[in-house]
Structure formats: structure tokens, C-alpha cells
Amino acid sequence: MKIICKQIEVKEKKFGYNRNMYEISEVLDSWRDIGAWWEDEEEKRFWRVSLHNDLTAEIFYIPNKKKWYLYRLW
């Protein structure tokens, strides 16, 4: 498992990272993380997803910034 934490663009159940396109086949889990609110950390919404190439990824979205990130890939 590799922690990546890089910004990505998600469109139509696909995202690109490191010159590769990944297609999401299934959402395995989802949750919210309110962060360290006492340090003004923003809320994140996480999804663990299965990809068409037999990999699993965790992606998250920061609603206030309207940005997606790839957190982990394995």
C-alpha cells in the first residue's frame, strides 16, 4: 500500500494519476473525516474504491475547495 495524497481530477468514474487512467468499478466504502477542527483542518469525504485493473484506491474530496485527491493505492 502506497500513501500518495496528490490532487487528481475525477470525471465519469475515472481519474488520472502518474500518466495512467484508472476506472472505478465499485465503491467499497465511504466515510467522513472532520479533521483537526481545532487546527482549522477541513472536512474530507473518503471513498475506498475498486478499480478495473484489480487495484484498490482511497480517494477523498474536500467540499470547501471542490478538489479531489488520491490518498492511497494498492
User: Three cell numbers at 20?
Assistant: 495512467
4 close to 17: Cβ distance less than 8 angstroms? yes
Res. 71: pLDDT tops 90: yes
Tell me the per-residue pLDDT of 33-65, one tens digit each, with 9 for 90 and over: 998 889 989 999 999 999 999 999 999 999 999
Given CA atoms 50, 52, 55, 60 in this order, what sign does their dihedral have?
negative
> What is the tally of structural domains in the chain?
1
Residue of 32, 74, 18 whose CA lies nearest to 51: 74
Q: Return the number of other C-beta atoms located less than 10 Å from residue 18's C-beta.
A: 10
Domain range enclosing 30? 2-73
